[in-house]
Amino acid sequence: MALEGNSDRLMSDINVTPFVDVMLVLLVIFMVTAPMMMQGVDVALPETTSQPLIAEKEHLIITINNKNQVFINDYQVAFDFLQEKLKKILGSREDRGVYLRADKEIPYGFVVQVMSEIKEAGVEKLGMVTEPIHQKKEGRKRKAKS
């Protein structure tokens, strides 16, 4: 009769099998969806022969795509509100440097207007982002060899 009393005891082992199953399903979902997520705005940058600069910290990036849409980092902003938004963002930042990325098909006049808005917002340093020419040539050589 002493053996019957043991059946009332609680089981102290943790069953981790359902937890492992859920984690594996989540891992597969993230592996499938990660390549589908795009970062940034697609822009065809102009090519130059200048050497790349090494940035010591993350800067604010203003992007103009081929549809004349303006973005602050990855967030679209109407051109009329660009200066206002930049003033708010730069008000809380110690670093007042900004990089400008513009599609090479954008009219020069529009790029200058955006640059003017950026400068009027209080930006001290404005850098231009370009694509080195040698990267394009190397890509063409690789395609020709394949």
- Tens digit of each residue's pLDDT (9 = 90 or more) over 55-72: 556 778 899 988 889 998
What is the spatial distance between Cα 44 and Cα 104, in angstroms, rounded to a whole number? 6
Single out the residue of 135, 144, 141 nearest to residue 52, CA to CA.
135
pLDDT of residue 28: 92
What is the spatial distance between Cα 127 and Cα 50, in angstroms, rounded to a whole number? 13
Q: How confident is residue 89, by pLDDT bands cut at 50, 70 and 90?
A: confident
Q: How confident is residue 15, by pLDDT bands cut at 50, 70 and 90?
A: confident
Single out the residue of 65, 85, 82, 67 nearest to residue 116, CA to CA.
82
Domains and CATH numbers, the chain: 4-36 (no CATH), 47-135 (3.30.420.270)
Single out the residue of 39, 105, 99, 100 nearest to residue 66, CA to CA.
105
pLDDT in tens, 23-63: 999 999 988 888 776 666 666 666 666 655 555 567 788 99
User: Is beta strand 131-132 parallel, antiparallel or unpaired with respect to 75-77?
Assistant: unpaired
Q: Where are the alpha helices (DSSP H) in the chain?
A: 17-33, 82-91, 108-120, 133-145
Q: What is the DSSP letter of 94?
A: S
* Integer CA distances (angstroms), 105 to 13, 24, 77, 108, in order: 65, 46, 20, 9
What is the spatial distance between Cα 136 and Cα 139, in angstroms, rounded to a whole number? 5
Entry pTM: 0.54
What is the spatial distance between Cα 136 and Cα 101, in angstroms, rounded to a whole number? 18
